[in-house]
Every structure is written in structure tokens, then in C-alpha cells.
Amino acid sequence: MKNTLEIDLNYILKLSKKREKENSNFRMFLKGEDSKKLDKIVHPLEQEISSQIDCKECANCCKKLHPALTNEELKVLSGIKNMSVNAFKLKYVEKDPYDQKLYLKHTSCIFLKDKVCSVYEQRPEPCRSYPNIHKSAFSSRSMVMMENYGICPIVFNVIERLKLELNYRY
């Protein structure tokens, strides 16, 4: 039986603000759970939920997040824009003062056209793997997951279903 999924971005954002303390406590709760057990629950949830949500109908991650870029990705993206790497970096990239990584600085993404990535086949790795629920050690990435709870309907629905699966009570 498929559960009803929440996909209304405004409602998800509203709930994420309302449930901030609950989700902080849930994150601490997850730290006490066995990581492999969590992955065995989370990964099927992610597959089920992501199969029902069309990211191209949402594209909220492209509107809200700034992917980190490798030097190779910078070369590819600057080439797509017919710019030198330096000119591309000056116009579209910023360096994080803490981790020194390079990020696209514009929100929404400069490559987003009508909710579709115009460089889909050449998109950076962070875009390819988002929302990263499929990766192992979900509990070690719980802080990032909670940050994405109000952005991504897949993350939102996986976390809400995970609360049910684990009988979590706030």
C-alpha cells in the first residue's frame, strides 16, 4: 500500500519550520540507532518515495541549493557558457571561506530553465546524487537531511515515514 505523499512545497516549508525542534530531537534519536539497521529501512523508503515524485516537477533543490564544483566541472560548465574558467568563476562562483570549496553562487541555478536542468547530462555530481538518501550511513548525514527536510519532498516524506517506521514519538 502506498502512503499519500506530501509534495506541496509551501506546506513542506511551513511544516519544516513548525517541526524544527521535533526534527532536532529526531536527529539525536537517530544517532542512537544502529546505522546498518537505519539504512535497511531508509533505502527502500527512498526508492518507494522517489519513484512517486517527479523531480522535474519540483526543481526546488535547483532553486534553493548551491552545488560544490570540482575543477573539471568548472571547465565543463564554463565551456557550456562559452566562457573562460576564470570569467565563469568571477560571474557565477564563490568560494566558501570555511571549507574553501567552490560553489555556484546564484539561487536559482543559472542552468535551470522551466524547472528543467539545461545541462542535465553534464550537471555536477552534487546535483546527480541529490538528495543523497541512497548513500550508506544515513545517520551520519542526518544534519544535512534535516536541512533538506524543508526543501526536498523526497527527504521530507522519507523522514516522516522513518518516524513512523521507528515508532518515534516527540
Mean pLDDT of the chain: 94
Q: What is the pLDDT of residue 45?
A: 97
Neighbouring residues of 130: CB distance < 8 A, sequence distance ≥ 6:
61, 65, 152
Query: Is residue 150 over pLDDT 80?
Result: yes
The vertex-122 CA angle with 116 and 123, nearest 5°, equals 55
Residue 1 pLDDT grade (very low, low, confident, very high; cuts 50, 70, 90): very low
Q: State the residue for C-alpha cell 511551513.
A: 14
37-75 tens-digit pLDDT: 999 999 999 999 999 999 888 999 999 999 999 999 999
Question: How much is the average pLDDT of 22-32?
Answer: 95
Neighbouring residues of 167: CB distance < 8 A, sequence distance ≥ 6:
none
Per cent of the chain over pLDDT 70 is 98
Question: What 3-state DSSP class applies to 109?
Answer: coil
Task: Report the Cα 138 to chain-centroid distance in Å.
Answer: 13
* Predicted TM-score of the model (pTM): 0.91
Question: How much is the average pLDDT of 1-25?
Answer: 91
Residue 130 pLDDT grade (very low, low, confident, very high; cuts 50, 70, 90): very high
Amino acid at 143: M
Helices (H) and strands (E) in the chain, counts: 10, 5
Q: What is the pLDDT of residue 2?
A: 53
68-114 tens-digit pLDDT: 999 999 999 999 999 999 999 999 999 998 989 999 998 889 999 98
Q: What is the pLDDT of residue 167?
A: 96
Q: Which residue has the higher pLDDT, 61 or 1?
A: 61
The 3-state DSSP composition of the chain as helix, strand, coil percent (nearest 5) reads: 55, 5, 35
* Whether 142 contacts 42, CB under 8 Å: no
Question: How much is the average pLDDT of 116-131?
Answer: 94
Distance between CA atoms of residues 134 and 117, nearest Å: 21
Distance between CA atoms of residues 155 and 170, nearest Å: 19
